[in-house]
């Protein structure tokens, strides 16, 4: 029996999550197939009603979770105007006063989306996995507890209205970390004076990983793993290639001296093999995340 999972059990599995399935449930089958000793995580949940890309991180891939979380995410969202819900999507209960939308849209309703591009302040939804006094916000909200969350600075890199027939619009958004598309629907509605909520949401892409290349979570297994180096390349990190001697020092947690000073996080390689991530400061390179498979490569 291997002390470490085999190479194909390290990396990223691109899942295409169907609607009606939680992110935890989407990982369940994969966890069973890679074995109990192999850690499995993800790079950002999808709401149960949403579909599309869920990045599963397997084995050494879990050590690159921050990297995966930093990748831009692209969504296709359907926004319905006229009523809001407590969850900000179609699974929730209508709240507030509904607005008669039969008279047509407010002037400039589509132009209003431009205000949500770039860095914006966004109040997270009460029905979210964020914690309030150590408890999940959605757990409190379901019990009828009023949840108050502080606004956060988030980024929407690009917004495009793909189609629109009042009172519905289909919008493509490319966002940064921590962005809630449900909140975009709420805030767009508030901006034009008409309540709104999401009726459909599909995550079509995370970095270079597309839903079209995803596998059904019920079929996912270790053979679907994409090597960890693909994730490092997707993040467009600087690359540092070490000699075998320096590589051994790096995986052992010792400081490595570099010929060319640099700063920031870099992907560290020996030959073509990703050893992990290192933090560069001037001529010093320190390990930030070391892949367990890299130790095996150097010992082989």
42 and 108 inside one domain: no
Question: What's the distance, CA 99 to chain centroid?
Answer: 34
Reply yes or no on whether 47 is catalytic.
yes
Question: What's the distance, CA 298 to chain centroid?
Answer: 32
**If we measure between CA atoms, which residue out of 285, 296, 281 comes closest to residue 250?**
285
| Residue 173 · residue 78 · CB < 8 Å | no
105 and 251 inside one domain: no
Helix, strand, or coil (residue 220): coil
| Residue 289 · residue 277 · CB < 8 Å | yes
Domain range for 59: 7-70+208-227
Domain boundary among 196, 227, 258: 227
Q: Over the stretch 241-271, which tens digit does the pLDDT of each residue have?
A: 999 999 999 999 999 999 888 899 999 999 8
Average pLDDT of span 71-93: 96
The token pair at 239 is 């690359």
Confidence category of residue 134, pLDDT binned at 50, 70, 90: confident
Please indicate, yes or no, if residue 184 is contained in any of the structural domains. Answer: yes
- Do the strands 196-206 and 51-58 form a parallel or antiparallel pair, or are they unpaired? parallel
Confidence category of residue 3, pLDDT binned at 50, 70, 90: very low
185 and 146 inside one domain: yes
118 φ/ψ sector (left φ>0, alpha ψ -120 to 50, else beta): left
Please indicate, yes or no, if residue 232 is contained in any of the structural domains. Answer: no
pTM, two decimals, is: 0.90
143 and 186 inside one domain: yes
| CATH (domain of 289) | 2.30.130.10
Q: Over the stretch 192-237, which tens digit does the pLDDT of each residue have?
A: 999 999 999 999 999 999 999 999 999 999 999 999 999 999 999 9
Please indicate, yes or no, if residue 2 is contained in any of the structural domains. Answer: no
State yes or no: pLDDT of 289 exceeds 70: yes
Q: From the candidates 47, 89, 187, 246, which is the catalytic residue?
A: 47
Domain count, the chain: 3
93 and 162 inside one domain: yes
Please indicate, yes or no, if residue 112 is contained in any of the structural domains. Answer: yes
Confidence category of residue 135, pLDDT binned at 50, 70, 90: confident
Q: DSSP letter at 10?
A: S
**If we measure between CA atoms, which residue out of 46, 41, 14, 9 comes closest to residue 28?**
41
107 and 193 inside one domain: yes
| CATH (domain of 222) | 3.30.2350.10
């Amino acid at each position: 029996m291997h002390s470490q999972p085999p190479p194909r059990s390290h990396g990223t599995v691109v899942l295409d999550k169907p609607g009606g399935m939680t992110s935890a449930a989407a990982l369940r089958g994969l966890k069973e197939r890679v074995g109990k000793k192999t850690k499995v995580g993800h790079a950002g949940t999808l709401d149960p009603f949403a579909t599309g890309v869920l990045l599963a991180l397997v084995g050494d891939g879990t050590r690159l979770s921050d990297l995966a979380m930093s990748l831009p995410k692209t969504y296709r969202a359907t926004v319905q105007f006229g009523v809001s819900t407590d969850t900000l999507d179609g699974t929730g209960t209508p709240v507030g006063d509904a607005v008669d939308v039969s008279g047509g849209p407010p002037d400039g309703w589509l132009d209003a989306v431009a205000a949500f591009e770039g860095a914006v302040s966004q109040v997270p939804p009460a029905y979210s996995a964020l914690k309030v006094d150590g408890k999940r916000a959605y757990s409190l909200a379901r019990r009828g507890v009023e949840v108050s969350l502080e606004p956060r600075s988030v980024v929407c890199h690009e917004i495009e209205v793909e189609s629109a027939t009042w009172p519905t619009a289909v919008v493509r958004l490319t966002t940064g970390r921590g962005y809630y598309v449900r909140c975009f629907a709420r805030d767009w509605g508030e901006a034009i004076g008409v309540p709104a909520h999401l009726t459909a949401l599909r995550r079509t892409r995370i970095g270079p990983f597309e839903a079209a290349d995803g596998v059904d979570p019920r079929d996912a297994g270790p053979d679907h793993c994409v090597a960890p180096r693909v994730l490092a390349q997707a993040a467009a990190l600087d690359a540092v290639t070490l000699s075998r001697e320096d590589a051994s020092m790096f995986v052992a947690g010792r400081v490595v001296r570099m010929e060319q000073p640099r700063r920031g996080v870099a992907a560290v390689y020996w030959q073509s093999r990703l050893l992990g991530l290192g933090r560069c400061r001037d001529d010093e390179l320190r390990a930030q995340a070391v892949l367990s498979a890299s130790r095996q490569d150097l010992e082989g």
